[in-house]
């Protein structure tokens, strides 16, 4: 009998915890994106007022509505991001003029010879390239920002930005500013972590890497820890770069990426490059698909990474048909370094560095078939 009572008390306690957790979830405001499709024929100010009115109607309090709104998307498409309760999000999803309402999610970030391997060389006669025309090409890169002081982004030989450019350089304490190569640099982080310094500067390296891969200058004697020394260059070295920092310590948030798409399309970029991805979703709830769709409507191609997962089924990311999705591939070389074993034997091994390791033993697990190392 006592065991029955104890079980009943335990079940009641667990049920109370579940109800309490459910109540907490229902009363906690979280970021949602309210997507409303094409831009209406109104001023941006009127659109902001519309967003506030719609939000006030759902929340029932103008002050809370004003405090809850994070972004108004009003330059290239219509919508907003706001902190909502679940029932408010449901209410908004049923309103006329609203295409979709979905939670803000966090997505993840996804060498010197690659372009030669693909046949895109600097030999103008061989590839029939036109550097003058290419210098009018503006590539918008949504990533972790950019390190403008890299040799890949030196503006020697570049003239002023193309007249079509309408973007800007966001000021920041640790940012040296733009130049005629990197003509734009902005950041989007209205609801991010307080530990992040608000600046377009890349402190992680991924954005600088992707920007230089797309349009970096030719840099001679580049190497990776002494390996693969050669000339590093982007696919279109004469092109201009506009960096949009959307990835921070917490990751890359949907609402920030949509704000960057909204800006990049209106700024006048010709191509948008995004090496970010997440699980596949319905197109109306996919920030990448929504942003790329409105870019496509303006004649702007969006190139995205297919992700680093696979080769299993359903592992490719960014699959909307209006996105140019690039998958990973092999290349025509290996990074080799001499490996000197404990018995004095030297052999070739695949590596990413040439420096000597500390003098410590290397231990292999019980499945290892090597008898040469210890």
Whether residue 114 has pLDDT greater than 90? no
Report whether 234 contacts 213 (CB < 8 A): yes
Question: Is residue 363's pLDDT more than 50?
Answer: no
186 vs 313, residue with greater confidence: 186
- What integer pLDDT is reported at residue 353 of this predicted model? 56
Q: Return the percentage of the chain with pLDDT > 70, whole number.
A: 77
Give per-residue burial for 8-38: e unless 16+ CB within 10 Å, then b: eeeeeeeeeeeeeeeeeeeeeeebbbbbbbe
pLDDT tens-place string over residues 198-209: 999 999 899 999
Q: Is the pLDDT of residue 356 over 70?
A: no
pLDDT tens readout for residues 224-254: 666 667 778 888 999 999 999 999 998 999 9
Radius of gyration of the chain (CA): 26
Bridge pairing between strands 240-245 and 138-143: parallel
pLDDT tens, residue by residue, 165-176: 999 999 988 899
- Token pair in block for residue 14: 């667990």
Complete domains list, the chain, with CATH? 2-104 (3.30.70.80), 107-326 (3.40.50.200), 334-374 (no CATH)
Average pLDDT, the chain: 84
Q: How far apart are CA 290 and CA 353, in angstroms?
A: 41
Asked if the model's pLDDT at residue 19 lies above 70, the reply is: no
**Under 8 Å between Cβ of 345 and 337:** no
Burial of 230 (0-12, 13-18, 19+ CB in 10 A): middle
pLDDT of residue 70: 96
Max mean pLDDT range (92-96, 128-132, 327-331): 92-96
* Residue 333, pLDDT score: 65
At residue 194, the pLDDT reads 75
């Amino acid at each position: 009998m006592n065991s029955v009572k104890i079980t009943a008390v335990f079940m009641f306690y667990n049920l109370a915890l579940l109800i309490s957790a459910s109540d907490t979830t229902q009363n906690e405001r979280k970021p949602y994106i309210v997507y409303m499709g094409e831009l209406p024929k109104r001023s941006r100010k009127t659109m902001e007022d519309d967003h506030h009115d719609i939000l006030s109607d759902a929340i029932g309090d103008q002050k809370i509505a004003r405090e809850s709104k994070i972004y108004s998307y009003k330059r290239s498409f219509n919508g907003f991001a706001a902190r909502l309760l679940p029932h408010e999000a449901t209410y908004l999803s049923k309103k006329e003029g609203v295409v979709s309402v979905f939670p803000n999610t966090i997505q993840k970030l996804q060498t010197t010879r690659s372009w030669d391997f693909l046949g895109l060389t600097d030999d103008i006669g061989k590839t029939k390239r036109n550097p003058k025309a290419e210098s009018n090409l503006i590539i918008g890169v949504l990533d972790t920002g950019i390190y403008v002081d890299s040799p890949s982004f030196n503006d020697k030989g570049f003239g002023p930005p193309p007249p079509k450019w309408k973007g800007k350089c966001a000021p920041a304490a640790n940012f040296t500013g733009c130049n005629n190569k990197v003509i734009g640099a902005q950041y989007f982080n209205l609801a991010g972590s307080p530990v992040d310094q608000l600046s377009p500067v890349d402190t992680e390296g991924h954005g600088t890497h992707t920007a230089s891969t797309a349009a970096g200058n030719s840099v001679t004697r580049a190497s990776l820890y002494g390996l693969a020394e050669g000339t590093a260059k982007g696919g279109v070295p004469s092109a201009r770069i506009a960096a949009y920092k959307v990835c921070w310590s917490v990751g890359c948030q949907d609402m920030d990426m949509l704000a960057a798409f909204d800006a990049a399309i209106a700024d006048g970029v010709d191509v948008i490059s995004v090496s970010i991805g997440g699980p596949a979703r319905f197109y109306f709830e996919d920030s990448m698909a929504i942003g790329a769709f409105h870019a496509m409507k303006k004649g702007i191609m969006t190139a995205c990474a297919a992700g680093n997962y696979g080769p299993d089924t359903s592992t490719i990311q960014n699959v909307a048909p209006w996105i140019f999705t690039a998958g990973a591939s092999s290349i025509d070389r290996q990074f080799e370094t001499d490996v000197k074993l404990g018995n004095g034997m030297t052999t070739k091994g695949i590596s990413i560095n040439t420096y000597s390791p500390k003098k410590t033993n290397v231990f292999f697990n019980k499945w290892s078939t090597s008898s040469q190392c210890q």
